[in-house]
Copies of this chain bind each other. A is one copy, B any other.
């Protein structure tokens, strides 16, 4: 099996976070069904050429979020009860935190509501529009 998941150590994004997101997306999209077994910690670690602890870290967080259930000797499985919803919720939570932090930051800097809205509109166009590139690069 050609490794369900992939990671890139050079992207700057922590490996365990990459794994978490991939699992959550797979579950949220139905690629992984409730009850389905995940690769074992050691197997996945071997496949991706990373340390078992890194995989374990990801699985631990996934279990905390109720997306998977794991036990020693058996392995890890997608949760039965509403794993799909949990995964989707967990995903949006990540985004929600980022958005929340950004707004808080903007407010602490002293921006008004309308200014923040404007910044957001620009960012939205920048990332969700077909004419998305050819934009200026601002900060460092």
* Chain A residues near B (Cβ < 8 Å): 21, 25, 28, 91-107, 109-111, 113, 115-117, 119-124, 126-128, 132, 138-139
Contact = CB atoms under 8 A, between A and B. Distances in A.
Question: What are the 7 tightest A-B residue pairs by CB atom distance, in nearest-first order?
Answer: A95-B106, A98-B102, A102-B102, A103-B123, A98-B105, A99-B102, A100-B123
A139 B93 contact: yes
Contacts of A111: 91-92, 95
A3 B24 CA distance: 50
Contact of A91 (B25, B101, B110): B110
Given A92-B111, A103-B127, 8 more contacts: A92-B109, A96-B119, A96-B123, A99-B103, A99-B123, A107-B127, A116-B124, A121-B139
A92 B119 contact: yes
Contact of A95 (B91, B94, B105): B105
A119 to B, nearest CB: 5
Nearest to A28: B110
B138 A97 contact: yes
B105 A128 contact: no
B113 A99 contact: no
Most B CB within 10 A of own CB, among A28, A111, A115? A111
